[in-house]
Amino acid sequence: MSVARGGRLAAADQAMLELNQSVDVDWRLWREDLDGSKAHVGGLQRAGVLTEAEATELQSGLDRIAEEIEAGQFVWDPVKEDVHMNIEARLVELVGPVGGKLHTGRSRNDQVATDLRLYARRRGTEVAQAVAELASVILDRAEEQLDVLMPAYTHLQRGQPSRLSHHLMAWQELLWRDFGRIHDALARMNECPLGAGAAAGTGFPLDRAWVADALGFDRATANSLDATASRDFLMELVSALAILGVHLSRIGEELVLWSSQEFGFIELADGFTTSSSMMPQKKNPDVAELVRGKAALLVGASVSLMVLEKSLCFGYGRDLQEDKRPLFDACDNARVSLAALTGALATAKFRGEIMEGALTRGHLVATDVADYLVTQGVPFREAHHILGGLVRAAEAAGVELSRLPAATFEAAHPALTGEALAEALDPRRAVERRAVFGGPARPRVEQAIERARTRWGAALA
């Protein structure tokens, strides 16, 4: 099979047709393509290229195409290559020869660049909203679990007593930065390429500022070559989504660990787990594992866009046809990961008694006893050495640090005795002593939750 291509070229080979067509992917830009075309019609009318009657007829035809697509009646034809040509061909069928005037002063180069910015802006806003929804659930759970203590870990080893809410707020901090990165990318991409033409603009007196405003852009792009040949706005957004994916993967990793029998800190609701095809007792944390997997695809999409553009000269190159799938996939994968984690965390059961029980193993208050010695005038390095010896003695005796005989403590240092030592060995007191800004003491965590709710509310207002 072959078809003629314009007036310049003869028929294309079937293999070229398969390579050339992109409508199986870029049909998803139909909404943005119609919006951009309607704004272009308005621009052509303002420039005197179209009469009012012609503009009205074109706008009506574009509206009818939107209705057909939404109703599932539109037939996408791969022979017509892409979303742009499919829509234009149908427009000509609906309104006749005047449909051929739509592409006046416009190239598919500035057309697709506009569509992509509109699409990325819409989907990026959706993902940012989903980030905020996940953060809201985390804030709710943090407020609900304020009294639950747990170990803080380093190297995946129990380190110091902490608070579950403080841990959850660490997740929230990541999401706040993700939200900011996405919005930074959206702000920088909010420029309109229409009027840039194929590479060097157009000779028609188009009011590019008017068209940009009609489409909700802040301004028109400042350089026609850059407008049509650059996709760093996609790189920036998808890179932000890749970082988000890494953060969601880290949360997912903790959910996998915490839901294991070895930890037992959390139980995920049945709706976010699966069983085994062989082992009937299994309840697998697949929601978290799948989110970890999606992170790999998000990172891959970011890399794909960077590699795609790295060797392109200025001026459109057909390589850029492949810029859509990474964008579409990244937005899809980020959105489904966020929705799944939001549901999983909203319905999860935290096992506070097991978390607090973990504070009784691993000598977690050793630093607090060393800090107490510092208050008695002992240099920290010396205090550290003393406590290291006490932990070694506890390990040799097979007991926790707090279970060593009083005589052992007093022999290590005369200050290690009485009520002051008992307070230093109390995990709950240890948490509340950590009252520095950003620490896990209850008043600080309460302040952190309030501060977070305020800034999320302001950002979403």
* Residues noted as catalytic: 155, 276
- Count CB atoms within 10 A of the CB of residue 18: 10
Q: How many Å apart are CA 5 and CA 79, to the nearest integer?
A: 10
Task: Assign 244 to helix, strand or coil.
Answer: helix
Among 327, 391, 338, 375, which Cα is nearest to 158's? Answer: 391
Give the distance from CA 111 to its chain's centroid.
27
- Within a 10 A sphere around the Cβ of 168, how many other Cβ atoms? 24
Say whether 266 sits in a helix, a strand or coil: strand
Type of residue at 88: E
Of 168, 154, 144, residue with least CA distance to 255: 168
Give the position of tokens 């012609």.
Answer: 54
Q: How far is CA 410 from CA 375, 398, 415, 418, in A?
A: 16, 19, 7, 10
Would you say 189 and 258 are in contact if contact means Cβ atoms under 8 Å apart? no
